[in-house]
Structure 1
Amino acid sequence: MTTDVVTDRAPAGTSAAPGRARRRRRWLTQVGWRHVVGVLAVVFSLFPIVFVVSAAFNPLGTLSSTNLAPTNGLSFANFTELFDRTAFGSWFLNSMMIALTASAASVFLSALAAYAFSRMRFRGRRVGLLSLLLIQMFPQFLAIVAIFMIFTTVSEYWPPIGFNSAGGLMLVYLGGALGVNTWLMKGFFDTLPKELDESATMDGASHAQVFFRIILPLAAPILAVAGLLSFITTINEFLIANVFLTDTGSKTLAVGMYGLLEGAERNSNFGIFAAGTLLTAIPTVLVFQFLQRYIVSGLTSGAVKG
């Protein structure tokens, strides 16, 4: 006697489709949306860069004729007009000199102050650290009126560090960068073993010898990071430089480039402005690429201790 057993079986392959759909939905909800956000962030970041590059090589050189993709061919006419019609070369040299000198001086003075706060114990140490922390909470341009009045008097008695001088502008930049650089370097110096100082002192080394021969070589990452941040901040600064520098020959890149977009010439000079913007970005990119290997280690080590 045989019994027929009837079983309800789904056709082959029908059970895999719901599984794939569930996996796809799970991927979209857990991982896929991150890719979407990343792509949008990249597009948002690249849009102004592509627009400026297109405007720089647009032969018409106007804002109204600029598109994301050049439609009139590529031309270097904007770069030629930039050097022929403006003092871009002088602006570039002024900015590089001021940025490099102010950054180097800021890093050196900040390193000296950070070493004193990190390794020495003296009266007023805690008050000094708290004062630096409090001062750097306020933007420097809040004191622009007071600084302007001070340098008005300085210009009368000592013009080399007054208005329209690179020395006076660098002094202002130094005052704004010392606080944050000192705190950043002090945190890094705290991570260095004090036994190195003690062993060098036992061998007869002075504080200056310990600082220059032991601390500074070990602190190369944080020095590079502080120098990079100071350089980028200085070369891109506009407000204070616009107040201090009024002569055409003494202007920096930010001040000179701003003058190209003033008044009714904004539309006609946009191509020249875009060309100058591309050339202005070259020093910052080169400095960033040269010091890139120090950025991660310097920033993370300087943020461990305070």
Structure 2
Amino acid sequence: MTSVKDESTTAIVTRGSRRGEAAPAPRRPFKKYFRETGWRHIVGVVIGVFAIFPLLYVFSASLNPGGTLLTANALFSNFDFSSYASLFGSSRHPYGAWFMNTLLIGLITAFFTVILGALAAYSFSRMRFTGRRFSLTALLVVQMFPQMLAMVAIFLLMVRIGDIFPAIGLNSQIGLIMVYLGGALGANTYLMYGFFNTVPASIDEAAKIDGAGHARIFFTIILRLVAPILAVVGLLSFIGTCSEFVLASVILIDPDKQTLAVGLYKFVADEFSKNWSVFAAGAVLAAILPVALFLALQKYIVGGLTAGSVK
């Protein structure tokens, strides 16, 4: 009798496997599910709400024409796009010029930050020269001091340079870009240096046998292999430049040359004419481009940030 039951069970399993039907997996008890996986879902939901709520609050405030944040406590109680229209209709606050200035300065700074950081990282990774270890340590130590300590020195330096070369001195966007590039090394070089070390040196040796020099190896081979870290550094540099306020407010004086971070502050700087609704609308529009770039380069971020820490 037992053999008959075994044969029937085997036949049923065989027919099910022939039809391509997999046996359903046994359900886990709720306690085991919560201990292994469920608590992660709860943490993810809490973090998601914590991150999304400020964005919804700012967007709701931009749709409230009251001009104060106290009237924006009720989310999406009003839907008025007059604040967005006010951004581009004021000659005193040229939001369009601020947006284009931020875009231009951010892209140029990000491009040259990537080039300078990649050149420095390639030199430290592939070449052996006197003072190499000291230079790496010096780059790390310099980053320990906040940028505010050099504010007075940078201002005086830009004033002196403006007396000789006005195009790159005070109240010059090119001068601001050069100041940003002066602090572009350091953390970026260390980040790229770890990633460059993951690229096998045998690739360089094979290229040298074929007669390629360091410049050709760098621009035609290495840059293609380290594309993830280049995208990460460029994205971080662009976001940092767009949100930078202190240096831009000191160096750029004319309203038409200022960036979004400096220009938006004017909407809430005056004590008796604060307009938080317009400020929130400008902040929402200013966040579109960094968010779009972040989403476009998202696939490079994890690989670019973690690959250099494995070596």
TM, length-normalised to structure 1: 0.86
2:229 — aligned with what?
222
The one-letter amino acid of 1:47's match is F
Structure 1: gaps (5+ residues): 1-22
Alignment of 1:94-243 (within 5 A): 94-243=101-250
Query: What whole-Å deviation, never above 9, does each CA across 1:48-84 have from its counterpart, x for those lacking one?
Result: 111111111123343232134222x312100101111
Moved more, 32-41 or 161-170: 32-41
1:44 aligns with 2:50: yes
Alignment of 1:57-96 (within 5 A): 57-71=63-77, 73-85=78-90, 86-96=93-103
1:302 to 292, 300, 308: 308
The one-letter amino acid of 2:244's match is E
The one-letter amino acid of 1:283's match is L
Is the CA contact 1:95–1:252 (under 8 Å) kept in the aligned structure 2? Answer: yes
Is the CA contact 1:55–1:274 (under 8 Å) kept in the aligned structure 2? Answer: yes
Task: Supply the distance in 2 between the matched residues of 1:304 and 1:135 (Cα, whole angstroms).
Answer: 25
1:279 to 269, 272, 285: 285
Task: Supply the distance in 1 between the matched residues of 2:94 and 2:234 (Cα, whole angstroms).
Answer: 27
Is the CA contact 1:241–1:255 (under 8 Å) kept in the aligned structure 2? Answer: yes
Query: 1:33: Cα distance to partner?
Result: 5.5
Query: 1:265: Cα distance to partner?
Result: 4.3
Task: Supply the distance in 1 between the matched residues of 2:166 and 2:308 (Cα, whole angstroms).
Answer: 39
Task: Supply the distance in 2 between the matched residues of 1:30 and 1:196 (Cα, whole angstroms).
Answer: 44
**Equivalent position SS for 1:191:** coil
Task: Supply the distance in 1 between the matched residues of 2:189 and 2:100 (Cα, whole angstroms).
Answer: 28
1:291 aligns with 2:297: yes
The one-letter amino acid of 1:66's match is A
How many pairs are equivalent?
Answer: 281
Query: 1:24: Cα distance to partner?
Result: 6.5
Task: Supply the distance in 2 between the matched residues of 1:218 and 1:278 (Cα, whole angstroms).
Answer: 36
TM, length-normalised to structure 2: 0.85
Task: Supply the distance in 2 between the matched residues of 1:166 and 1:141 (Cα, whole angstroms).
Answer: 20
Mark the CA change 1:263 to 1:42 in structure 2 (over 3 Å): closer, same or farther: same
Query: 1:26: Cα distance to partner?
Result: 7.4
Task: Supply the distance in 2 between the matched residues of 1:115 and 1:27 (Cα, whole angstroms).
Answer: 48
Query: 1:35: Cα distance to partner?
Result: 4.8
Task: Supply the distance in 2 between the matched residues of 1:289 and 1:36 (Cα, whole angstroms).
Answer: 24
Structure 2: gaps (5+ residues): 1-28
Is the CA contact 1:50–1:68 (under 8 Å) kept in the aligned structure 2? Answer: no
